[in-house]
Amino acid sequence: MRLIFWLMGATMAGVFLTMLLWSGPLIMAEAGGLPLFDTRLSGYNVEEAKAFLAALSDVGRDFYLNVQHKLDSAFPALLAVVLVMAYTRVYQGWVGWIASTLPLAAAGFDYMENAAVAVMLRAGDGLSDAMVLSASQWTERKWIALGLAVLALFEGMVRAWRAKRKAM
C-alpha cells in the first residue's frame, strides 16, 4: 500500500507541476497575464470574468478547454486519493472516514467548477451573470474544502506525532 501511495503522490505532483509551470502560465500569457478562474481563491465577479474572457485569445480558450481541463480532470481525483490514503495513516477509525469527506468534496467541487468554466469559455457573447456566479461559487467551495482537507491532514499529522512521542 505504501508503494501505491507514493506512486499516486508522484503522479499527482507531476500533474500539479505541469499545470503550475506549463499550462497555467501559458493560459495566463494568452489572457494578458490575468489569473485562471481555477486559481482565484475568493472566486470572481462578472466584470472580472468578462475581462478575463475578453483578454483570452482563441488559442488560449482552446488550450484551457482541452489541455488544461484534461489535466484538471486527473488532478482532483489524484489529490483526493492521496489525501484519503494519508488520512488512513494519521487517523484511527471513523475520524479518518469523516476527514476523507473533505478531499472528496473538494474533488467534486473542482469537477463542477471545470464544467461551469467550460460553459463560460464556450459562451462567447452569451455569457450570463448566472454562469459566472455558478462557476465562482464552485471555485470558492473547492478552495474552502481543500483548505479544510489540508488542515485536517496537518492536525492528524500533529496528533500522530504526539502519540508516537508519548509512546517513546
Q: Give the DSSP letter string of the chain.
A: -HHHHHHHHHHHHHHHHHIIIIIHHHHHHHTTTPPPGGG-TT---HHHHHHHHHHS-HHHHHHIIIIIHHHHHHHHHHHHHHHHHHHHHH--THHHHHHHHHHHHHHHHHHHHHHHHHHHHHHGGG--HHHHHHHHHHHHHHHHHHHHHHHHHHHHHHHHHHHHHHH-
Q: Does pLDDT of 138 surpass 90?
A: yes
Q: What is the pLDDT of residue 158?
A: 93
Domain span including residue 60: 2-167
Domain count of the chain? 1
Q: What is the pTM of this model?
A: 0.93
The pLDDT, as a whole number, for residue 32 is 95
Check residue 121 and give its pLDDT.
97
In this prediction, residue 167 has a pLDDT band, given cuts at 50, 70 and 90, of confident
Mean pLDDT of 140-163: 94
pLDDT exceeds cutoff 90 at 30:
yes
Task: Tell me how crowded residue 2 is: count the other CB atoms within 10 A of its CB.
Answer: 8
pLDDT at residue 3, rounded to an integer: 94
Q: Give pLDDT, residue 28.
A: 97
Contact predicate 68/134, CB 8 Å: no
